[in-house]
Amino acid sequence: MPPRITASAPSPFQKLLITRQPYRCLSCSIRLSQSQSESAPQPQNASSQPTTHFGFEEIPSSSKSSRVSSVFSSVASSYDTMNDLMSLGIHRLWKDHFVRSLNPGSKPLLPASSTSQEPRTEPWTMLDIAGGTGDIAFRLLAHASLLNNDHTSRVIVSDINPAMLSAGRTRAQQPQYAPYAPRLEWLEANAESLPPSIIKDNSIDLYTVAFGIRNFTSPLKALREAYRVLKPGGVFACLEFSKVENRVLDAVYKRWSFGAIPIIGQLVAGDRDSYQYLVESIERFPRQREWRDRISEAGFLVPGVDERGEGGWENLTGGVAAIHKGIKPLNGG
């Protein structure tokens, strides 16, 4: 009688391999998304349904917001870890430099009022979009307070995801951030259609968005909303992952992004798919020149463009990330 063979229970690592999608490199991800698009059945009225991208996947525009929300609900508790993985920890230096370049709280003196001959200053009203965890907002207020002796400017932190806002509110209770809590407001809102009763026309001095705008369903709608809410002379400032210009560094960074980050995301946060989307979303974001042109087309004046039409952004770490700015014209009310 032949011996009876019994199967042993799979190990945790084997379960991970069984239940998770296989590793996808950059070219594999592109080919997979193309094959899915070609094989997917098209609804009869597909031509009337606007689409957008979710990583390398093409989806109905109406579903992107909920899918992105699911991603960030999943990573909210490990958001700092996520950014450390995405940038090898350099995002902290990028954010510090981003805020220093904006110099919040440094508004020039205004003319004396009718009731006083003393020159006066006016506090800034800042809007940090997709800033739920407060990472940029705390930096803005710290810079204003500690470097410009401005203790009255305030920040409205807006995010579409309540889990991210909850993480920010919790963080604001920590001792190092608690002094800034009274000057923070938390707003759950879609950056593409901010509530006009709360964020009024021509009411914001500085609009910031860091590592968020590439996840929007329509970045162009968000740009138009930024233009609406900014005061004439107000500044739109965007910090985002971008395109590496050096071929060798680009190859190394893409191998890290597509080869390591999703796997580490699975091991550290138990969520490979969200990290796979995040690296794909970076690849789909426009190149620096194209994004600069879109900011200009939204009505902003882009500083730093020379007479040949070159420049208009600041690369960080060779283009792994970039800072873009736009100024609302003084006659742009």
Q: Which residue has the higher pLDDT, 59 or 171?
A: 171
Integer Cα distance of 67 and 78 in angstroms? 18
Of 6 and 229, the one with more pLDDT: 229
pLDDT of 139 over the 80 cut: yes
pLDDT at residue 247 greater than cutoff 90? yes
Over the range 95-106, which residues count as b (16 or more CB within 10 Å of their CB) and which as e?
A: beebbeebebbe
Is 225 contained in some domain? yes
Q: What is the DSSP string of 144-183?
A: HHHHH---S-EEEEEES-HHHHHHHHHHHTSTTTGGGGGG
Structural domain includes residue 26: no
On whether residue 163 sits in a domain, the answer given is: yes
Which H/E stretch holds residue 206?
Answer: strand 204-210
**Rounded average pLDDT over 252-276:** 84
For residue range 185-226, what is the model confidence (pLDDT) as tens digits? 999 999 999 999 999 999 999 999 999 999 898 999 999 999
- In the prediction, which pLDDT does 67 show? 74
Looking at the predicted structure, is the pLDDT value of residue 240 above 80?
A: yes
290 — pLDDT class (breaks 50, 70, 90)? very high
pLDDT, position 115: 59
Question: Is residue 27 in some structural domain?
Answer: no
pLDDT of the residue at 43: 45
3-state secondary structure of 286: coil
Condensed to tens digits (0 to 9), the pLDDT of residues 162-189 reads 988 999 999 999 999 999 999 999 999 9
Residue 47 included in any domain: no
Q: State the average pLDDT over residues 79-98.
A: 83
User: Tell me, what's the pLDDT at 273?
Assistant: 84
Check residues 50 and 249 and name the one with the higher pLDDT. 249
Residue 113 near residue 133 (C-beta atoms within 8 A): no
Model confidence pLDDT, tens digit, residues 12-27: 434 433 444 444 555 4
Percent of the chain with pLDDT over 70: 76
Question: The domain containing residue 313 runs over which residues?
Answer: 53-79+89-109+120-245+286-327
User: Among 19-33, 118-132, 198-212, 293-307, where is mean pLDDT lowest?
Assistant: 19-33
**Average pLDDT rounded to a whole number, residues 90-115:** 82
In a domain, 228, yes or no: yes
Cα 137 to chain centroid distance, Å, stands at 13
Instruction: For residue 179, give the CATH number of its domain.
Output: 3.40.50.150
- The yes-or-no verdict on residue 151 having pLDDT over 90 is yes
Asked, for residue 37, whether it belongs to a domain, the answer is no
Q: With cut-offs at 50, 70 and 90, classify the pLDDT of residue 41.
A: very low
Provide the pLDDT for residue 129.
98
Counted domains in the chain: 1
Domain assignment present for 18: no
Strand 321-327 to strand 314-316: parallel, antiparallel, or no bridges (unpaired)? Answer: antiparallel
